[in-house]
């Protein structure tokens, strides 16, 4: 049985350290880079909203799924996100700017998954996939 404080540290690492690293990288570095590289007439459109909160929740869910051995739920969640993203981008115009936005989205997802895995590693005490 894993000591409860390992689980607390793992979840805290996943949610809070993940947020401290991911949010500034995506928000302050990547999105402005896409806006400069692919300028559009008028203002550069970029999705705003609760993406930071979604990232925190999904990092928690990744950590919990990997901790309890429910690896398939990570795939299910990523599948749901891809379907939602696909439907949202079908309405957008085909452009290089859209491709840049997709790159930022993929990087954000990869970082969230990596921090979820790291949190589960801390919680379990070893790499979750190498049991």
pLDDT, mean of residues 9-38 = 84
Q: What is the pLDDT of residue 84?
A: 83
pLDDT, tens digit, for every residue of 79-113? 998 888 777 666 665 555 566 777 888 888 999 99
Per-residue pLDDT band for 30 (boundaries 50, 70, 90) equals confident
**Where along the chain do its domains lie?**
4-39+51-130
Per-residue pLDDT, 33: 75
Q: What angle do CA 79, 73, 65 make, to 5 degrees?
A: 140
pTM reported for the whole predicted model: 0.78
pLDDT at 63: 94
Q: Spell out the SS3 assignment of 44-80.
A: CCCCCCCHHHHHHHHHHHHHHHHHCCCHHHHHHHHHH
């Amino acid at each position: 049985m894993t000591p409860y404080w390992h689980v607390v540290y793992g979840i805290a690492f996943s949610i809070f350290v993940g947020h401290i690293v991911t949010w500034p990288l995506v928000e302050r570095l990547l999105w402005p880079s896409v806006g400069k590289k692919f300028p559009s007439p008028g203002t550069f459109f970029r999705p705003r909203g609760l993406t930071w909160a979604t990232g925190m929740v999904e990092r928690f869910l990744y950590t919990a799924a990997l901790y309890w051995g429910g690896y398939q739920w990570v795939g299910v969640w990523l599948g749901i996100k891809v379907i939602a993203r696909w439907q949202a981008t079908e309405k957008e115009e085909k452009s290089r700017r859209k491709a840049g936005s997709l790159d930022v989205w993929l990087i954000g997802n990869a970082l969230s998954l990596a921090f979820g895995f790291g949190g589960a590693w801390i919680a379990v005490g070893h790499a979750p996939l190498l049991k």
